[in-house]
Structure 1
Amino acid sequence: MGALILSGNPLPTTLADLLSNTLVLRQTAPYLPVSAIYALAATSRAFHQIVHQSPEVFRYLDLSTVKSAVVPYEPLDSGGISWRAERMDESLTEDEFYSGPLRGIFSKLERRRLLRNVHTLVLDGLSVPADLVREIIAEDRFNVRILSIREAKNLNERKLMQALRYAVRPTRPEGTPRIKGIYLFGARDPAPVQDAPVKKRPSPSRSSSKGVVSSQGAQIGAEWNQKSTDALNASLARTEDKWYQSAGRMLTKRPSLEWAETLKACEGIISFDAVLCRGPRHDATKAFKSEGPTTGFPNPTAYLPPTIATVALGPSGCENCHSSPEGPAVFGQSPTSEAPLLTPLPLHSSSIRAAQMPQTIDGSRPPPLFVRCEECLKGRWCERCHKWWDEDCYAGSTIAKRTELQQTEFIESVATNGTAHLIPKQTIKVIGVWRDCFGCGHTCINCKELYIRQCVSCRNEYCVEDNDASSATRCDWCNYTSRRTVEMY
């Protein structure tokens, strides 16, 4: 060793030397689970000092994979649980019980002076009562900028909405709240794929009894079709972010109107992974207008209260005019309240700009964002191919309150030998949608020609995809040749 030093050759760089660099540590720490970080700190005194003294280690903290953060559902009178020092008694509230594991973790981090370093906190799928969220938002011991509580358990949404409205009140102290973004409405990130055990291949008799769709080949084909659809949507939108693609419904559960009012109150202060619909029916100055020159009376039923947008329409806009009356939201130009927080969460930054920035495939400018609620798309959105028409291109039926299919042929008057007659043009404009299949939803005329068939036996229409036992010419009822019996029970 002395010879190496005297000859001028430096010592080899160790892992502790690399992690001592703030830039390297900040780029590496978010990829390590909490168990791996504490295992690293237990290896030597140098690593222990790096983990417990550097503010970059716990800047991004994901507790969704920590086993000690999960509430073991045991009887309350079991005599006490591991994360609480006192015994269970009548003074323990329900929220205190269900928030016990996370409160214990936060207490340990606070004693080690690490809780203030957490800027991005992920609590997806854990037991997170509303009182605990209120403490994260309001108390000074927390310094969280982005909070993720997707699919959280034991969360009282009404109490959470009250806490958020109080946090953004006009008389709040300057510089509060510290939190700038909340992931709440979307689905949590999928767990990492593990190697599944090899299953025994079912016998031909069993697989054939379940039908063609449930066979292994059909399942593989459906999976590849979905992957091809996702790849096509990503290439057309130039991004893999679902909100900027023609992805259709983005939220599995439709948020309530109270949540829409809460997002309205939090505009410009706290961003969410959902945005409000900006359709013209949500604007009182545009909704209360006359229906036409013949009536001249306002239509108050056209106005809609604030509603959260749940449908991603893609970057191309309306099928006819490729725009919309409210205009698209453009990242970097529109207000931050018009762009949702995107998944996955940013690992190396806790700013709203990093959470809202769409990542394009070719590195070009982000595509425009068109999103709306389902009420503003009634009769104008195909749920299969996701084509849609705005209010200026297709008015629909506002009196009957139902969807309809409108076909308009452009005709022109041509004078021949002094006689005027009508000649149909070659251009046929077909707009609007119609519910042809309860499984597919509302479809346009193009999707109807592709997937809807008329049975040659009963003359009824059916969908070739949703009717599993159907064929190319017969519906599932007429194609089923076995004896039919009435099942009473």
Structure 2
Amino acid sequence: MGPLTLDNAHPHSLADLLSNSLVLRQTAPYLPVASIFALAATSKALHHVVFHSPDVFRYLDLSTVKSAIVPYAPLDSGGISWRAERIDESLTEDEFYSGPIRGIFSKLQRRHVLHNVQTLVLDGLSVPADLVREIIAENTFNVRILSIREAKHLNERKLQQVLRYAARPGRPAGTPKIKGIYFFGQREAVQEKRKENTTNKKSTSPSPKGVTSSQGAQIGAEWNHKSSEALSAALSPSSDKWYQCSGRMMPKRASLEWAETLKACEGIIAFDAVLCRGPRHDPARAFISNSDSESSGLPHPASYLSPAVATVALGSKGCETCHSCPERPAVFGQSPSAELPLLNPIPLHSSSLRAAQIPHTVDGSKPPPLFVRCEDCLKGRWCERCHKWWDEDCYTVSAVAQRTELQQTEFMENATTDGTAHMLPKQSIKVHMGLCVNSCLVGEMMAGAGSNGMWG
């Protein structure tokens, strides 16, 4: 028999290759929706593969689909159903803003692939709370992981009601199908750009007024902060921001209502944020007040705090002194899933809660511990520049450290003018005005020396 040639080799076609579920499952999430439909239009074989395989639309990202964006002008961009709704005078505001996405869902439903979607990304789109309710509650959907970060026209209070109802004690067995929701974080596509813009405007760690008033000191402080962040990321055992000394993880502080919603969904629906478990949130461990705090008009350092969303990532090292914390750090594989946040990026090849929560270690070692807290639990005990912190067992916060930043700044400025130098922070105070005394605050003083600031 002669050598094999192209004429008689019968090589496999692209349709044959994509018919392999393993290949298709690994490839499909990287293809934009428009490319998937274009691929299906090239041949009957590929059309069959695209619309008869459960793996093609398992991961669906609509955030980049132009037809999913609500146009400002009354243009028809959502299909026949969207056109019909837009001429209806009884159309509600939520129905109007959800029209484009509903049009896409309708198209997928007619092709019998909507029920295959298990990871749905709607970041930055118009996603009213009623649409989220349908995705969670209706049988036409089978979504396990939903991302609605930076969604527009989303009534948060109404969304909280939807989530609490979905997780209610008397809910039907097997509901809700959804296991995780990305809501609090930023979209991956704009995270780095926003981080760069924020850093250019001002350092993420506040500096005392007058300490670094000169331009040279400001530039030096900014570069020191960048270097500190780069070193922290390089030394971190995990590439996930929640497990690094990342500081504030959210653009704004989550409300008390969100904390109560996360509490109601605990063990049922996970989020890309968790509740703070500091001892001040435990009524059995916190003290309401004492005579010293009442006389000074300041809250007692150990006073009880209402439930709060943890917004600060403290790395995997723990307290600077004991390298742990009173509430015990969360560890993947050991702690309940409610203590672990959903991590970025959203997993492409799995829609399980485990895949969304497992930290990615740099060297493949076991997952590091997770230390996170709310800002109230860290007040006066966390350096916002280098992210060192001390827990309640290792450091008792002084009355000076409990002052607001404005009060502390006024106190420092008055101390320099009235000669009460003995009232300035001493070594017994570890954190002052958001900076650790031993390194960052001293560095700010040295950087501001000779300037027009209060250290000049």
Measured in 2, the distance between the counterparts of 1:102 and 1:457 equals 56
Report matched runs for 1:27-426 at 5 Å.
Answer: 27-74=26-73, 83-190=82-189, 226=226, 229-288=228-287, 302-397=303-398, 401-402=402-403
Structure with greater strand percent: 1
Query: Runs of 5+ in structure 2 lacking a partner?
Result: 194-213, 409-425
Measured in 1, the distance between the counterparts of 2:76 and 2:43 equals 38
Measured in 2, the distance between the counterparts of 1:95 and 1:62 equals 21
If you compute each CA radius of gyration, which structure gives the higher value, 1 or 2? 1
Q: 2:440 aligned with 1:447, yes or no?
A: yes
Measured in 2, the distance between the counterparts of 1:257 and 1:98 equals 27
**Offset of 1:66 from its aligned partner?**
0.2
Measured in 2, the distance between the counterparts of 1:312 and 1:375 equals 14
Q: Which amino acid aligns with 1:14?
A: S
**Offset of 1:193 from its aligned partner?**
10
**Offset of 1:449 from its aligned partner?**
1.9
Measured in 1, the distance between the counterparts of 2:45 and 2:284 equals 65
Seen in structure 2, the aligned counterparts of structure 1 residues 116 and 459 have a Cα distance that, compared at 3 Å, is closer
**Offset of 1:239 from its aligned partner?**
1.2
Residue of structure 2 in register with 1:469 after alignment:
none
- Offset from partner CA, 1:47-76 (integer Å, 9 cap, x none): 11100100000000000000000000126x
Query: Runs of 5+ in structure 1 lacking a partner?
Result: 195-210, 406-427, 436-440, 462-473, 475-489
8 Å contact kept, 2:309–2:374: yes
**Offset of 1:256 from its aligned partner?**
0.4
**Offset of 1:232 from its aligned partner?**
2.3
Q: Which amino acid aligns with 1:335?
A: P
Measured in 1, the distance between the counterparts of 2:76 and 2:102 equals 19
Q: Which amino acid aligns with 1:130?
A: A
> Alignment partner of 1:61: what SS?
strand
- Offset from partner CA, 1:179-203 (integer Å, 9 cap, x none): 0000000001116999xxxxxxxxx
8 Å contact kept, 1:308–1:373: yes
Seen in structure 2, the aligned counterparts of structure 1 residues 254 and 18 have a Cα distance that, compared at 3 Å, is same
- Offset from partner CA, 1:140-160 (integer Å, 9 cap, x none): 000000000000000000110
Residue of structure 1 in register with 2:203 after alignment:
none
**Offset of 1:3 from its aligned partner?**
7.8
Q: 78-87 or 54-63: which moved more? A: 78-87
Measured in 2, the distance between the counterparts of 1:292 and 1:279 equals 23
Seen in structure 2, the aligned counterparts of structure 1 residues 104 and 52 have a Cα distance that, compared at 3 Å, is same
- Offset from partner CA, 1:109-153 (integer Å, 9 cap, x none): 111110000000000000000000000000000000000000000
Q: Which amino acid aligns with 2:444?
A: Y
> Alignment partner of 2:51: what SS?
helix
**Offset of 1:5 from its aligned partner?**
7.9
Seen in structure 2, the aligned counterparts of structure 1 residues 193 and 268 have a Cα distance that, compared at 3 Å, is closer
8 Å contact kept, 2:401–2:432: no
Measured in 1, the distance between the counterparts of 2:66 and 2:6 equals 51
Q: Which amino acid aligns with 2:395?
A: Y
Seen in structure 2, the aligned counterparts of structure 1 residues 338 and 41 have a Cα distance that, compared at 3 Å, is same
Measured in 1, the distance between the counterparts of 2:454 and 2:111 equals 71
Seen in structure 2, the aligned counterparts of structure 1 residues 398 and 180 have a Cα distance that, compared at 3 Å, is farther
**Offset of 1:240 from its aligned partner?**
1.1
Residue of structure 1 in register with 2:209 after alignment:
none
Measured in 2, the distance between the counterparts of 1:238 and 1:300 equals 32
Q: 104-113 or 185-194: which moved more? A: 185-194
8 Å contact kept, 1:237–1:367: no
**Offset of 1:300 from its aligned partner?**
11
8 Å contact kept, 2:288–2:304: no
**Offset of 1:80 from its aligned partner?**
10
Q: Which amino acid aligns with 1:311?
A: V
> Alignment partner of 2:150: what SS?
coil
Measured in 2, the distance between the counterparts of 1:390 and 1:261 equals 25
**Offset of 1:18 from its aligned partner?**
1.2
RMSD of equivalent CA atoms: 3.4
8 Å contact kept, 1:4–1:10: no
Q: Which amino acid aligns with 2:338?
A: S
Seen in structure 2, the aligned counterparts of structure 1 residues 193 and 244 have a Cα distance that, compared at 3 Å, is closer
Seen in structure 2, the aligned counterparts of structure 1 residues 381 and 192 have a Cα distance that, compared at 3 Å, is closer
Q: Which amino acid aligns with 2:28?
A: A
> Alignment partner of 2:173: what SS?
coil
> Alignment partner of 1:285: what SS?
coil
Q: 2:449 aligned with 1:460, yes or no?
A: no
8 Å contact kept, 1:80–1:88: no
Percent same amino acid among aligned pairs?
66
Q: Which amino acid aligns with 1:310?
A: T
Measured in 1, the distance between the counterparts of 2:363 and 2:401 equals 46
Query: TM-score, normalised to structure 1's length?
Result: 0.76
Residue of structure 2 in register with 1:410 after alignment:
none
Measured in 2, the distance between the counterparts of 1:458 and 1:192 equals 36
Seen in structure 2, the aligned counterparts of structure 1 residues 352 and 431 have a Cα distance that, compared at 3 Å, is farther
Q: Which amino acid aligns with 1:138?
A: A
> Alignment partner of 2:146: what SS?
strand
> Alignment partner of 1:281: what SS?
helix
Structure with greater helix percent: 2
Q: Which amino acid aligns with 2:431?
A: V
Q: Which amino acid aligns with 1:433?
A: V
- Offset from partner CA, 1:209-262 (integer Å, 9 cap, x none): xx988xxxx89x978973x54542233221110000011000111110000000
| Aligned counterpart in structure 2 of residue 433 of structure 1, from 427, 431, 434 | 431
